[in-house]
Structure formats: C-alpha cells, structure tokens
Amino acid sequence: MIRAIIFDLDGTLVQTEALKAISYARAAKQLEPGLSEDEVVTRYDDMIGRSRNEVAEALVERFGLNVTWQRLIDIRMKIYDDMLADPGLLKQQEYPYATALLRKVKGMGYPTGLCTMSYAPETAVVLKTLGIGQYLDVVVTRDQVSKPKPDPEIYRLAATKLNVQPAECLVVEDSEPGVDSAVAAGTQCVVVPSDLTRERVLAHAPLKGEVIVNDPADLDRTVMQLLGR
C-alpha cells in the first residue's frame, strides 16, 4: 500500500535543468570565450540528475578549462541565482501537470516529500516562486545527504522523515539517476522523462518497480491507478 508520495524537483516539477545547462554554458564561455555554449549544454544534458560537483568536474575536464571545478561552480552559481531571481522566467519552466498532481495528492491526505540534488537555498527560491512549498511535508536537498543520486540515501532519508517504509512510497522522477536512486531505496517509481532525459530513460528496460509515463498527460491517471483510486 502506498502511504506517501515523493517528488523530484528539477526536471519533474519544474524544468530548471534547462536553466542549469545554460548557466554552466555561460560560465564556461566566460572562462573560455572561444567555447561553443551549445557544446557545453549538450555535455550537461548527458549528466542530468548528477551532483553539482560531478557536473563541474566533468565539464572542466571535457573542455580543458584552466580552473578548478569549484571556480566554475562559483561563476555558474552567480548566473543561475540571477535566473532564479526572475519569477517570470521560473514560472515559465513549471510543469503544471506535475505541480497539479502534488496539490491533488496532498489534498487527498497523502504525506508528501521532495528529494532534490539542488541545494537548500536554490530549492527554497523555486518552491516559494511556484507557491508549492506548503504542499510538502518533507524537503530533502543535496546538502542533507552525503551521497548524491543515484545513491539511494536521499530517498531513504525522506521515507524516514515521513515515518514510512521506502516500500510504502511512490516516487515521481524524470531522470535515470533519479530512478536508480528511488528503486535502489526500495520505493515504487513513476518516471516522466522530459525532452532532456527521455533518450537516456528509454535506453534501458524498466527496472523493477519503475513505471514509465512517456506522455505527461497520462501522469495523473497512472498515479491514481497505482494508488488504487
């Protein structure tokens, strides 16, 4: 029996992954003016769902940037924070089918959680701007766990905070690392791939406990069926 619903944030409730890709590309171009922003975005797309440190390390190595990965992060975060400070831009990235589902299951009485590889300050801005923070009982961010997705730590921690077993949780995700994390934690997982994650999600057969919803319009119906509603 499903007793709690846990959502991913970036790429699931809101398409901030596209903004993150652009912020990395602009930061890399500041450091290497001859660099193609499109190349950086493409490389980032291959790492969606990975931690900030992993992404920065990979970009520094791939493009031969003559800085530390931390320096790239520092430049990139200034750009990304400016993006998040624009409510209109952020609201344009919202996935209404997913935020509506969050509101719906909360209204049905299910405890709800959020597990994101974003850090607490950025997560707080997104939740406030979209007006969905009050629909979440538990929020677990990257800075609360020692290991990033695809490690199961973050979903196990959320289940503990929600006072349920992982097997009693239904997770809504969008990326391959997120699905791996949720399934390894022992949860059921509905994955709604975005344009940025679809190819990688569909490239492997579904894992045990994974349900793929390729059309976002089918998300509500699929989740209600899994809840027995």
Residues 131-157 pLDDT 10s: 999 999 999 999 999 999 999 999 999
Question: What confidence tens digit (pLDDT) does each residue in 71-97 have?
Answer: 999 999 999 999 999 999 999 999 999
How are beta strands 169-173 and 188-191 bridged, if at all?
A: parallel
pLDDT band at 207 (very low <50, low <70, confident <90, very high): confident
Judge if 84 and 156 occupy the same domain: no
The span from the CA of 74 to the CA of 43, in Å, is 19
The share of the chain scoring above pLDDT 90, in percent, equals 91
CATH, residue 151: 3.40.50.1000
- One domain, residues 109 and 201: yes
Q: In this predicted structure, what is the pLDDT of residue 50?
A: 86
The verdict on 180 and 108 lying in the same domain is: yes
Q: Do 83 and 137 fall within a single domain? A: no
Give the largest CA-CA distance in the chain: 55
Peptide bond into 150 cis (omega under 30): yes
Structure confidence at residue 22 (pLDDT) = 96
pLDDT at 112: 98
Number of domains composing the chain: 2
Q: Clarify whether residues 154 and 179 are in a common domain.
A: yes
- Whether the predicted pLDDT of 205 surpasses 80: no
Structural contact between residues 59 and 42, judged by C-beta atoms closer than 8 angstroms: no
Per-residue model confidence (pLDDT) at position 204? 81
Q: Which of 31, 65, 89 is the last residue of a domain?
A: 89
Choose one of 67, 89, 111: the last residue of a domain.
89
Q: Which amino acid is at 125?
A: V
The C-alpha angle with vertex 221 and arms to 217 and 222, in degrees rounded to 5, equals 100
Q: Give yes or no: residues 107 and 211 share one domain.
A: yes
Provide mean pLDDT across the span 2-12: 97
- Number of C-beta neighbours around residue 126 at 10 A: 22
Q: Are 139 and 196 part of one and the same domain?
A: yes
Cβ(138)–Cβ(116) below 8 Å: no
Asked if 79 and 180 sit in the same domain, the reply is no
Where helices occur in 67-169 by DSSP H, the ranges are 69-84, 87-92, 96-107, 120-130, 153-161
Range of the domain at 135: 4-15+94-226
Q: Is the pLDDT of residue 121 over 90?
A: yes
Regarding whether 60 and 128 lie in a shared domain, the answer is: no
The 10s digit of each residue's pLDDT in 13-68 is 999 999 999 999 999 999 999 999 999 999 998 889 888 999 999 999 999 999 99
Q: What is the pLDDT of residue 51?
A: 87
Q: Render pLDDT for 150-194 as a digit per residue (tens, 0 to 9).
A: 999 999 999 999 999 999 999 999 999 999 999 999 999 999 999
| Tokens, residue 161 | 């905070």
Statement to judge: residues 198 and 215 lie in one domain: yes
Whether 119 and 163 share a structural domain: yes
